[in-house]
Amino acid sequence: AAVSVEPYRIKVVEPIPLTTREQREAAVRRVHYNLFDLRAEEVTIDLLTDSGTGALSAAQLAAGMAGDESYSGSRSFYRFHETITELTGYQHVLPVHQGRAAERVLFSTLLEPGRIVLSNTHFDTTRANVELSGAEARDLPCPEARNLDSTEPFKGNIDLEELSRTLSGPDGSRVAVVVMTITNNGGGGQPVSMDNLKRTAALCKQHGVPLFLDAARFAENAWLVTRHEAAYRNHTPRQVAEEAFRLADGCMMSAKKDGIVHIGGFIGLNDPELAQRCELLLIATEGFATYGGLAGRDLDMIAQGLTEVTDPGYLAERADIASHLAERVRAAGVDILEPPGLHALYLNAGRLFPHIPAHHYPGHALACQLYLEGGIRSAELGSLYMGEEDEHGNPVKAAPYELVRLALPRRVYTRSHYDHVGETLEKIVKRAESVRGYRIVEQSPILRHFRAKLQPV
């Protein structure tokens, strides 16, 4: 068997700040207990997102140095295009500056008021871009996704019965596109099986509705397929990925995740007429069709990253480090959304702090504790993000679960960094009953979690 260690060593390092408890207390007070407003220099281990936070390889940096910065027709674009066409089979490839730009360009071209988009789960910006086009975004997660503790391997699947019912029902003719998010970030980073994807593709074909992948984490999805889907046990992640892309009519991709770059993305598709219409909008709003808002060096680094990301050694190590952290978290006495995926762990803060009501944000309380105790930044995914209260702070709507996401940047932190996360959680669990919640003192009408000011209750 292959040796299970990091398939890379560290050539360039970047210092991270080590702060004192007093400094962290002063920092959270200054930002009104909103961790988005911290300066990154005040954070020791930043698990806010796995997006654009990965470490570049020497080969990516070298490719970037050789980037061709011509305004049009650069060598970098042709390498980017060829790499993506080989991986996906899509004939038309449009570069964009990040995933949400791909969403905006595709949806403003494809959608109009009255149309519907169906998905296993829309990511926030995907939903926002559907709604900005006047269309409706409907999530159809599979029933197993509702049970956080179930260890079913493919909780990212779409509900096929619901999909079939909707496509053949009265709303069927209004469905403009089906979007399959792999892995399902909004649904806890859970993967989609190839069987579910094939059945979805067949239903879409039967009803004449295009199927697009939101492929931000396609390689991680492919890895989990090779681990858990019997028919794919002898496939490489690359083979699974190639097949997945070919089941769909096109994709949107944020390359900031499985492209392992700091910025970039693309739309891939086969329909020449749709590609042409997207291209016009791209040129007007992102940049000429051979760079789409990116530098030539970015295109080269994406092309290189896309070939590295399906390496089985890399993916095995990524899965292993996520399981390592999951073990530490469970040992500390904190439940996670099971089973752990590759890009993030979702801590069950509601269960850890049963004494904190939803409108005092148990997830936010845990995120603040992680920072105060260990200098760790995470993201609340609970009632601060999805809930609602009246003007007196009384609960109107609570999130279904109170979670905290620990996202794992690619190739960045070592096991000892993650051990520190486990040790910090142990300390928090020991005095869990004394942890208090928060209330909002100032908020914006939409996306309140980014800018809200809070106070301990």
Choosing from 49, 120, 190, 369, the residue that interacts with ligand F0G (CB under 6 A) is 49
* Residue whose C-alpha is closest to residue 217's, from 273, 265, 278: 265
Of 8-16, 94-102, 329-337, 423-431: span binding ligand F0G (CB under 6 A): 94-102
Q: Does 378 bind ligand F0G (CB under 6 A)?
A: no
The total of other beta-carbon atoms located within 10 Å of residue 276's CB is 12
Q: Identify the bridge partners of residue 346 per DSSP, sorted by sequence position.
A: 405
- Residue with smaller CB distance to ligand F0G, 117 or 435: 117
Q: Is position 126 an interface residue for ligand F0G (rule: CB under 6 A)?
A: yes
Q: Is 335 a catalytic residue?
A: no
Active-site position among 40, 58, 71, 198: 71
When asked if residue 119 is in the footprint of ligand F0G (CB under 6 A), the reply is no
One of 98, 166, 190, 196 touching ligand F0G (CB under 6 A): 98
Active site residue 71: yes
Q: How far is the CB of 212 from ligand F0G (least distance, A)?
A: 11
Question: Least separation, in Å, of the C-beta of 48 and ligand F0G?
Answer: 7
CB 364 within 8 A of CB 354: no
The type of residue at 402 is E
Give the residue with the Cβ less far from ligand F0G, 130 or 194: 130
Q: How many residues bind ligand F0G (CB under 6 A)?
A: 15
Q: How far apart are CB 27 and ligand F0G at their closest, in Å?
A: 22
Rounded Cα distance between 434 and 271, Å, is: 58
Catalytic site residue from 123, 266, 385, 438: 123
Helix axis angle for 362-374 and 415-430, nearest 10°, is 120
Residues in a beta bridge with 180? 213
Q: What is the dihedral of CA 279, 261, 294, 95, to 10 degrees?
A: -10
> From the list 24, 100, 127, 359, which residue makes contact with ligand F0G (rule: CB under 6 A)?
100
CB of 294 to ligand F0G, least distance (A): 12
Cα(339)–Cα(155) distance, integer angstroms = 9
Distance CA 156, CA 154 (A): 5
Q: How far is the CB of 375 from ligand F0G (least distance, A)?
A: 20
Task: Please report whether residue 94 would count as binding ligand F0G according to CB under 6 A.
Answer: no
385 scored as a contact of ligand F0G (CB under 6 A): no
* Nearest CA among 325, 350, 412, 427 for reference residue 21: 427
Residue 256 makes contact with ligand F0G by CB under 6 A: yes
Cβ pair 421, 374 in contact under 8 A: yes
169 SS3 class: coil
First to last CA, the chain: 54
Q: In the window 186-225, what residues touch ligand F0G (CB under 6 A)?
A: 214, 216
Position 254 contacts ligand F0G (CB under 6 A)? yes
- Note if 154 is an active site residue: no
- Which of the stretches 2-10, 95-103, 172-180, 192-200 binds ligand F0G when contact is defined by CB under 6 A? 95-103
Retrieve residue 425's tokens.
């959680």
Tokens coding 286: 């992102």
Q: Position 82: which residue type? A: E
Give yes or no for a contact between 72 and 53, defined as CB atoms under 8 angstroms apart.
no
What is the residue whose two structure tokens read 């239903």? 203
Residue with CB nearest ligand F0G?
99
**Shortest CB 405 distance to ligand F0G, Å:** 8
Chain position carrying tokens 């960045």:
412
| Residues designated as active site | 71, 123-124, 214, 216, 257, 449
Residues making contact with ligand F0G (CB under 6 A): 49, 51, 98-100, 123, 125-126, 181, 185, 214, 216, 254, 256, 265
